[in-house]
Structure 1
Amino acid sequence: MKRKYLLLLTLLLTISFTFGCSSSDTPKASFEKYINAWNKNDYKTMYSILSTDSKKSISQKDFVSRYENIYDGIELNKISVMPEYPSSYKKDSKGNVPIPFKVTMNTVAGKVTFNDTASFKESNNTWYLNWSSEMIHPDLKKGYKIRIEKTPAKRGEIKGTNGSYLAQNGYIENVGIVPNKFTGDTEASKKQIADILQVDVNSISKKLSASYVQPDMFISIAKLSTDDTDKMSNLLKIPGIMITKTPARVYPLKEKAAMLTGYVQNISADELKKLKTKGYSRDNVIGKAGLEKIYEKQLKATDGAEIYIDSNYDKKIKTIAKKAPKNGKDVNLTIDTNIQSSLYDEYKADSGASVALNPKTGAVLALVSAPSYNPNDFVLGMPSDKWNALQNDANKPLLNRFKTTFAPGSTFKPITAAIALDAGKLNIDEDKKISGLKWQENSSWGNYFVTRDEAYSEPANLVNALVHSDNIYFAKTALAIGKDAFLSETKKLGIGQNLPFEYGLETSKITSNGSIKDDIQLADSGYGQGEVLMNPVQLASIYTAFVNNGNIVAPYLNSDKGTQSKVLIKDAFKPDTINTIINDLTQVVSNPEGTGHGAYMPDLPLAGKTGTAEIKKSQTDTTGTENGWFIAVNPSNPKLLVLEMYENVKGKGGSGYVVPNVKSIFQQFGK
């Protein structure tokens, strides 16, 4: 009987131990639960572990809001709590168990570290935390506050040559309403304001009726460019309107360089989540497109910040963390803002792309894509209807045309000729005996013919073929080169490979799948049709070989990082070939019958090549469009090479539509 009693007692003790001691029956278990909630910003769970006396000193609502406000204010992005558990728990004189711990926090002002001691009290076999505000920080006594002050840093600016700016730190105008001064017929005034700003009147009413609005507050309703003087003048006539200057990113060239510079906007929540450890805070802007995005790391400014404890009497008690502001570094470009502006202005209602560069050094002087958008609109705040209009615009103002590729048309003919000359496949004096306006190699081509625009009386030799831009001549030349050689020689020029250039460009290519399927495709490729697609920057860079003894010079945009006259491809063409090509391209302009004669200037002799690329589904397609090209350089003083491409020139004179515009750029900047 006694043995049964002992077994029963043992069993009861085991059950009591197993079920009567929960995981929170030790100070360590309670603190682990508290720390786990702390790491997750689960302030309600943290509060549930507080002792009864602690809960009397602060409500759950105030507890949660205090942690949220402080951690949000210091922009806490990571917290680590490391306790030092004793080997055995010893109660102090009050019957509490102390547990030392260390806290490390990453904040907007840098790392914050402190040591403290948590005190646990037992009640009904459960351990609770004796909490005070000093657990947020040991120096945060009751009634004290944690404050933060930021010192703005300056984002690096994007500069062109001669101290000109493409993106700079300037000001915008912040338009707001002071409610207690907004008197009279306020509904009529709202409508008047909405009409001036071209916004929905309801958006103004919504901002004025927000719960936080006080009678004497400045309620921002819109932002304007400093150029909007008429709007500001009309707005200031309305009682209650106030306009203040606000620091902001400004793009002086507006649409003229938008595709080049891109733009900045406030960092998004998703971006901040990824970049918190990179020194970003919620008040930062970040490059969203163009060079602003490409050079974000260099341009980025890191604001200074100080976190400190303030007494009831607005007295700074102690600085917890402090970080000095760090300005971003400027990006210095080779861009000549005058050339950039003039090239863009030439497009007016047209669309296309332009490249201007120094063919001897490789410095890119202008990169234009038209039409475009005003990057300042993104800084001022892009209304959804305006953004939708940009996206749905048939002229595609958001398409970066100098980044993409196009059929080069006849501008590719000098490249075909140079390849053939180097390979010994072309006699410059040979008359290819071409007659009529269409030709095919043999009857196996069926109904397919290579066509040309005119039949000329001169011999069908190289110079005349370039002067008259004879498609048939260069189709025959491509066939003489052969498919494999044509592909391998164009590859040596970098076609089909990424051009090493700061601004990522689409890759030029001869064919879509790496092979030329038949002689028809090869023939078409010889005069820049078929599947040939060229990026404007890469095409311009290949043309530098014609004034650099056959060497292709690497284009560069960043004057601090680029290397002048860096040879990208050495001996791309032989010297004799170059002399022949450049002399013939001079005839394209100087000869009255030349397709580029519209750019002829006796005092500024140019060498150039036109191109009219047909964009159509088949040879019989009459609904297709045409893109017009003209590339020119002054071979006697090669400091400027200009490429202009215009879309949809059908019915406007083809490439002849482009020639006068290139001439105008040389008249302004090429002498």
Structure 2
Amino acid sequence: MKKWGWTISLLSVLMIAGCSDDITPEERLEAYVAAWNEADYETMYTDFVSETTKETVDEVAFVERQRSLDEALGVTEREITFTRAPEDTEWEPTEPAEFPVQLKIETLAGPIEWEQDMTLHPIEADDELTWVVDWNEGFILPGLMTGDEVRVSTQSFKRGELYDRNGNPLAINGTGFDVGVVPGKFTDLAAKTELATLLGVTEEYIDNQLSQSWVRDDLFVPLDKLASTDPLKDKLLTIPGVLLNTAEMREYPYGEATSHLIGYIGPITAEQLSEHEDEGYTEFDVIGRQGLERYLEERLRGENGKTIYIDPVAEGAENVTLAQLPAKDGKRIELTIDAELQRITYDSMDGEPGTAATVNPETGEVLTLLSSPGFIPSEFMLGMTQTRYQELSDDPLKPLLNRFAASYAPGSTLKPITAAIGMANGTLDPTEGIVIEGAQWQKDASWGDYRVTRLHPEAPNPIDLTKALVYSDNIYFAQQALRMGREPFVSGLEKFGFGETIPFLLNLQASQVSNDGTISSEGQLSDTSFGQGQMLANILHLAISYQPFVTDGTMWQPTLLMEEEDQVVWKEGMVSPEHAAVLREGMRRMVVDGFAQAVNLPSIPVAGKTGTAELKASLNEEGQENGFFVSYPTETEDFILAMMIEQVEDNGGSGYVAEKVARVYQLLYGQ
């Protein structure tokens, strides 16, 4: 296409020239400039440059020099013009003609503009007068001379940082250490064995690093990198000859507590390099690999700066800067997360496998979102051995599993939602008492072997809604679900967001009513009423599902970035103010009179609902139990905390989770 563009321009010039006796220098320069704008360096050389020029530079050098610089400088556009002579100018066939030429090129460091005079000499060619160009390297770049080097330097950007709502750092550009040895002082064979063990490398690796050609006895030889918070540094410094040099490094101050949420950066993978093709990444770059570091990569990354300059061949001459594009640092991003609350919540879980989420019911802001146990982000950032990765992968507590992104059977924490749907449907009267006898119940013989079982048959009759919440009575809620019927119940759950993806920054597994979104039997309806069956909920959805009980019917879209608009309605009208008040009182009584006494704190009134979901190994066997507790402080109602702990069957069930949550309240309120 470039060739055709040049050919058309040249033909136009030649047609004009054919109307007169001789071609003018202006016409020749116009044709030359047309080829120049198309980067047709071959034609420029063969058809236009003077013999004098050809004696100083051959065609290969002429073409390759300019073409390679175009590529190195990232030239995307060029605009070359010249100042025309007055219309009445008469050209002497024996005198050179001179024109001011204006040059502008767009480069990776911005535009470069300059002006330079170009001389054309008259010659006879095929018995006709024509004109040829005197060329020099100053027409490539301003001030460029033969032998000068053109260089491009890169100024690295600073990656954007992540902070919590209170300005606490979550992912920042801090410092760490380059770990290495000074060979002249590192002579103890036993020390090498100890160092290899501490760093998780082989002694052969250390030997190879020390045998590089540049190594001298007094030079620091780097072996590994270490995070500033890594306790290993104290042990390393006891080894003679080992040094730790301060180095720029990403820091994650809250470590394991925020590991699944914040993630980490690391060397770009081949897959990511392919995904981000044409975005300026190279195989030597780092990139967000997990969590928000990956989700927010585009905003955190920034842009490198570029400087184009001439490195003169002349001795003592200073470099000449031609274009400079400053580096653009990544953005500072503030999260709605309360890092200290996240740390307190994580610590209260004592490394138990589980997850937790905390939301502000008045705004929709997410205050905590965590998975336990976590991992040390710097281990992944700095690179870990296959042995260490396998150790984490094989850990039965699964620290690499992001539990807040998964969904689980919510157990009895669903009961306030079931009650809200029943009251809205008009089939559940919260003051009506139901007489329930025994530990098991079935509607009739058509249920076969299926029965609903309750944990506290000692609950005093009649059972109303408040007692049903206090004693977490499965039979009561199963009967209420049967009263309203499958379709109204499913419709009510859908109004609470079940079966729908939460509008949220991160990808979370959607909560579901069942595998296909329907309830196919009365038995499944009964199970679903108390959070079993095929029902699943992710922990964030579970927390925001309690918002309507505090807001009198509104559920906000959850936000994770401070810049996001708060109080954006996701769902509304699921519960009336009167029914919300009934549920608040029932959940308060559940804490005061029920089986979560650990969180019945004298100076911190709390309301909430426990839940235990049994994951049966088979129809006739008992399986793993996951414990839940969703709660809020009744005096302030400024947050709703949902927590789940796995495998609580031998620890007291959901009461065990209530103990963990009680610790959060005590630490938060200084009790």
| Superposition TM-score, scaled by structure 2 size | 0.78
In structure 2, the partner of 1:607 is: 607
Q: Secondary structure of 2:628's partner? A: strand
Distance 1:284 1:649, change over 3 A: same
Cα offset, 1:273, TM superposition: 5.6
Offset of residue 540 of structure 1: 0.7
Q: SS of 2:245's equivalent?
A: strand
1:162 corresponds to: 166
State the match for 1:255 in structure 2: 256
CA drift of 1:416 comes to 0.4
- Superposed counterparts of 1:505-516, under 5 Å: 505-516=508-519
Distance 2:572 2:59 in 1: 82
- Give the secondary structure class of the aligned counterpart of 1:516: coil
- In the TM superposition, residue 161 of structure 1 has moved relative to its aligned partner by 2.8
Instruction: Work out whether 1:192 is the aligned partner of 2:210.
Output: no
Residue type of the alignment partner of 2:559: Y
| 8 Å Cα contact 2:191-2:239 kept in structure 1 | no
User: Residue 44 of structure 1 aligns with which residue?
Assistant: none
Structure 1 residues without counterparts, runs of 5 or longer: 1-27, 39-50, 85-99, 118-130
Distance 1:650 1:251, change over 3 A: same
3-state SS of 1:307 partner:
strand
What letter corresponds to residue 514 of structure 1 in structure 2? Answer: G
Contact 1:104 1:114 in 2 (8 A): no
Cα distance in 2 for residues equivalent to 1:284 and 1:490? 46
SS where residue 160 of structure 2 aligns?
Answer: coil
- Does the 8 Å contact 1:550/1:578 carry over to 2? yes
Q: Structure 2 matches for 1:234-383, cutoff 5 A?
A: 234-235=236-237, 237-239=239-241, 241-268=242-269, 271-272=272-273, 275=276, 277-278=278-279, 280=281, 284-312=285-313, 313=315, 315-383=317-385
Shift of 1:328: 1.7
Distance in 1 separating the partners of 2:576 and 2:231 = 59
1:149 aligns with 2:153: yes
Query: For residues 257 and 398 of structure 1, what CA distance do their matches in structure 2 show?
Result: 13
Matched with 2:507 is 504
Measure how far apart 1:276 and its partner are: 6.1
Contact 2:266 2:288 in 1 (8 A): yes
CA offset at residue 451 of structure 1?
1.2
* Preserved CA contact (<8 Å) 2:154 2:307: yes
Q: Deviations over 1:312-332 (max 9, x none)?
A: 347444334321121222111
Quick one: distance in 1 between partners of 2:636 and 2:495? 27
Contact kept, 8 Å, 1:356 with 1:640, in 2: the verdict is yes
Per-residue deviation, 1:266: 3.3
Q: 1:57 to 1:380 in 2, by over 3 A?
A: same
Q: 1:482 to 1:192 in 2, by over 3 A?
A: same
Deviations 1:582-640 (A, max 9, x none): 1111110111xx12222112322211100000111444122x20000011112332012
Whole-angstrom distance in 1 between the partners of 2:275 and 2:620: 53
Q: 3-state SS of the aligned residue for 2:357? A: strand
Residue identity opposite 1:658 in structure 2:
V
Q: CA deviation at 1:152?
A: 3.1
Q: Give the counterpart letter for 1:287 in structure 2.
A: G
Structure 1 position 398, deviation (Å) = 1.7
Structure 1 pair 172/343, CA: closer, same or farther in 2 (3 Å)?
same
**What letter corresponds to residue 514 of structure 2 in structure 1?**
T
The change in CA–CA distance for 1:185 and 1:589 in structure 2 (over 3 A counts) is same
Change (3 A) 1:226 1:532: same
The equivalent of 1:641 in structure 2 is: 640
Q: Residues 207 and 596 from structure 1, CA distance in 2 versus in 1: closer, same or farther, beyond 3 angstroms?
A: same
Q: 1:220 and 1:195 mapped to 2: Cα distance?
A: 16
Residues 269/620 of structure 1: CA separation in 2 closer, same or farther (3 Å cut): closer
Displacement of 1:411: 0.2
TM-score w.r.t. the length of structure 1 is 0.78
- Inter-CA distance 523–230: structure 2 relative to 1 (3 Å threshold): closer
Q: Which moved more, 1:186-195 or 1:484-493?
A: 186-195
The aligned residue for residue 457 of structure 2 is 455
Q: In the alignment, is the contact (CA less than 8 A) between 1:551 and 1:569 conserved in 2?
A: yes
- For the residue of structure 1 that corresponds to 2:518, the secondary structure is coil
Structure 1 pair 282–174 and aligned structure 2 pair: CA distance change class (3 A): same
Cα distance in 1, alignment partners of residues 476 and 443 from structure 2: 12
Distance 1:342 1:505 in 2: 23
Which residue number in structure 2 is paired with residue 45 of structure 1? none
Q: Which residue does the alignment assign to 1:541?
A: 544
CA distance in 2, matches of 1:528, 1:219: 59
**Residues in 1 aligned to 2:270 and 2:74: alpha-carbon distance in whole angstroms:** 13
Identity %: 34
Q: Which moved more, 1:301-310 or 1:414-423?
A: 301-310
For the structure 1 residues 388 and 155, does the alpha-carbon distance in structure 2 shift closer, same or farther, using more than 3 Å as the test?
A: same
1:509 Cα shift? 0.7
Partner of 1:389: 391
The alignment partner of 1:161 has SS state of: coil
Q: Deviation at 1:647?
A: 0.5
Q: Is the 8 A contact 1:193 1:235 kept in 2?
A: no
CA distance in 1, matches of 2:359, 2:292: 18
CA distance in 2, matches of 1:432, 1:114: 92
